[in-house]
Structure 1
Amino acid sequence: MIVTHALTKRFGHTPAVDAVDLHVGEGDRYGLLGPNGSGKTTLVRMVLGLVYATSGDIEVLGRPVPKRIAEVLPDVGALMEGPGAYGHLSGRRNLALLDAAGPRGDRRTRRRRIGEALERVGLATVDQRPVKTYSLGMRQRLGLAGALLSRPRLLILDEPTNGLDPQGIKEIRELLTALNQDGTTVFLSSHLLAEIEQLCTRVGIVDRGRLVIENDLTVLRAATGRVLVATPDAAHAVAVLDGQLESRDGDRLVIRHDDPAALNARLVGAGVRVRSIRAERRTLEQVVIDATGPGSDRFGEAR
């Protein structure tokens, strides 16, 4: 759906995006993760043909961008950070104007499509209010509704949960997951580790303009070779494990072992009551820190 090769953008002598090879496959929920100023927004803008690359190639839906961007846009929905709107007009009226100017502004289906989009983002009951009365989160929802009007094959979003409260973030996450399950490929940028970890199936990490990691989230969050055990018989378990204990915090143990099922059988067989047991996996935060080194604390904290 999106492929770039050696994509580079310089502002003067400063590289904002530096030789990025990006691969977003059909059906992905792809999260582009990076701190503010890492080049994410510039990269997204180049993919949409809003900013010209200094060098390199971009292909979206099998067509070169920006050369054939007009052929691509009808199948792409996009929301850039800080969606614009006419404040004195209602949300519904803003969407009508946006649809009329868009590549697929079919007037016969406009009212129905606008209603469906507003319903999906949770604005159906406030669609007649002037946008100037909207909160930042409501404006963000309106921008997302605009991106959904054409029922796109590819949805490109820059910081889509900006300004939303925790409940709103959860609702948008569920909406994007549902859209993806219905066949829409989702490509979004964010600096929030927790959102990418909960939503995305594939992750790219950008640091100082370079794509330092790109892989499936399940691969990145590989098992560490340790097992987390909670047991009311902690002392007995430690004796049974005979040197495999890495750490203990009350009734919670960290054990060097790569097979939770086998470890559970061993403990239970020795008479240890096991309250919970699971393999320890790397967090996305650990992946980011390992990949970016100093400065990685610029990322948003988990919510």
Structure 2
Amino acid sequence: MIRTHGLTKAYGAITAVDGLDLDVREGDVYGFLGANGSGKTTTVRMLLGLVLATSGTAEVLGEEMPKAARHVLPQVGAMVEGPAAYDHLSGRRNLALVDASGPGGARSSRKARIAETLERVGLGHVDDRPVGAYSLGMRQRLGLASALLRRPRLLVLDEPTNGLDPQGIHEIRELLLELNREGTTVFLSSHLLAEIEQLCTRVGVLARGRLVVQAPLAELRGPTGRVAVHTPDVELGRSLLDGTLEEVVHDDDGPRLLVREPDPAALNARLVAAGVRVTALVPERRHLEDVVLEASQP
């Protein structure tokens, strides 16, 4: 769905995006992760033909961009650098203009399509007030509605939950997962680790304009080789695990022992036989935050 090779954008002596090789596959929920200023938005703008690359190539839906923009963009829903809208018009009027500006928008069904799309993004109750009176969260929802109006094959979103409260973030997350189940590929640019971790199937990490990680999320969050033993009997467990116990953690999940052990079943049997109350025993997995921090080191 998206493939780039050596994609580079320089502004004078500053290289914003450096030799980017993206691989976004059909059916992905692809999380494009990076700190503010890492080059994410510049990349998205190049993919959509809004900014010309200094060098390298970009393909979207199998066609070269920006050469094929006229054919490709009607199949792509996008929200970049915040939602665009005419502040003096209502949300419905803004969507009507979007629908009328491109192919495939039959006038006879426009009203119904707009109503359905507003309902999906949580703006079904919206009245005729101008967009200038909307909250930031409402504007984000309207921007997403604009991106969804033509039921795109590919959805490209830049920080789509900006300005939303926790309930709104949850609703948008569920909507994006539903759209993906219906066949829409989602490319989501964000600096929020939690957002990427809860939504995405594959992840690319950008640091200082370079792609430093690109892999399935499940692979990135693979096992560390340690087992987390949850037990109230910390000292007894500690005395039994000399040599394999690497760390004792106390946090909101309660105390747990982190043990380097290839056979969790044997470990459990050994602890229980010695009188240690084991309330849970699970393989430890890497946190996405650790992966990102490690990969992003200069």
TM-score interval for Structure 1 and Structure 2 normalised by the shorter chain: over 0.9
Please give the alpha-carbon distance, in whole angstroms, between the structure 1 residues aligned to 2:264 and 2:135.
47
Which residue in the other structure is 1:288 paired with? 292
Please give the alpha-carbon distance, in whole angstroms, between the structure 2 residues aligned to 1:258 and 1:213.
28
Structure 1 contact 190–196 (Cα < 8 Å) conserved: yes
Please give the alpha-carbon distance, in whole angstroms, between the structure 1 residues aligned to 2:266 and 2:248.
20
What is the one-letter code of the residue matched to 2:277?
A: R
Please give the alpha-carbon distance, in whole angstroms, between the structure 2 residues aligned to 1:249 and 1:28.
35
Which residue in the other structure is 1:3 paired with? 3
Which residue in the other structure is 1:52 paired with? 52
Measured on the aligned residues, the alpha-carbon RMSD in Å equals 1.5
Please give the alpha-carbon distance, in whole angstroms, between the structure 2 residues aligned to 1:67 and 1:199.
31
Which residue in the other structure is 1:264 paired with? 268
Which residue in the other structure is 2:24 paired with? 24
Please give the alpha-carbon distance, in whole angstroms, between the structure 2 residues aligned to 1:89 and 1:123.
15
CA gap of 1:113–1:248, structure 2 versus 1, over 3 A, is same
What is the one-letter code of the residue matched to 1:253?
A: L
1:177 deviates by 0.8
1:104 deviates by 2.5
1:271 deviates by 3.7
SS at match of 2:277: coil
Cα deviations by residue, 1:74-114 (Å, 9 ceiling, x for unpaired): 21110112211112211111111111112322212211211
Which residue in the other structure is 1:301 paired with? none
Name the stretch that deviates more: 265-274 or 218-227: 265-274
Which residue in the other structure is 2:92 paired with? 92
SS at match of 1:174: helix
CA gap of 1:12–1:289, structure 2 versus 1, over 3 A, is same
TM-score, scaled to structure 1: 0.92
Q: Give the alignment of 1:110-259 within 5 angstroms.
A: 110-249=110-249, 251-259=255-263
Structure 2 contact 157–188 (Cα < 8 Å) conserved: yes
Structure 2 contact 264–281 (Cα < 8 Å) conserved: yes
Please give the alpha-carbon distance, in whole angstroms, between the structure 2 residues aligned to 1:29 and 1:260.
33
SS at match of 2:3: strand
Please give the alpha-carbon distance, in whole angstroms, between the structure 1 residues aligned to 2:167 and 2:262.
37
CA gap of 1:129–1:282, structure 2 versus 1, over 3 A, is same
SS at match of 2:118: helix
Select the residue among 278, 285, 289 that pairs with 2:282: 278
Equivalent residues, number: 294
TM-score, scaled to structure 2: 0.94
CA gap of 1:165–1:232, structure 2 versus 1, over 3 A, is same
Q: Which ranges in structure 2 are unaligned for 5 or more consecutive residues?
A: none
Q: Which ranges in structure 1 are unaligned for 5 or more consecutive residues?
A: 295-303
What is the one-letter code of the residue matched to 1:145?
A: A
SS at match of 1:123: coil
Structure 1 contact 81–160 (Cα < 8 Å) conserved: no
CA gap of 1:264–1:112, structure 2 versus 1, over 3 A, is farther
CA gap of 1:123–1:258, structure 2 versus 1, over 3 A, is farther
1:205 deviates by 0.6
Please give the alpha-carbon distance, in whole angstroms, between the structure 2 residues aligned to 1:27 and 1:193.
21
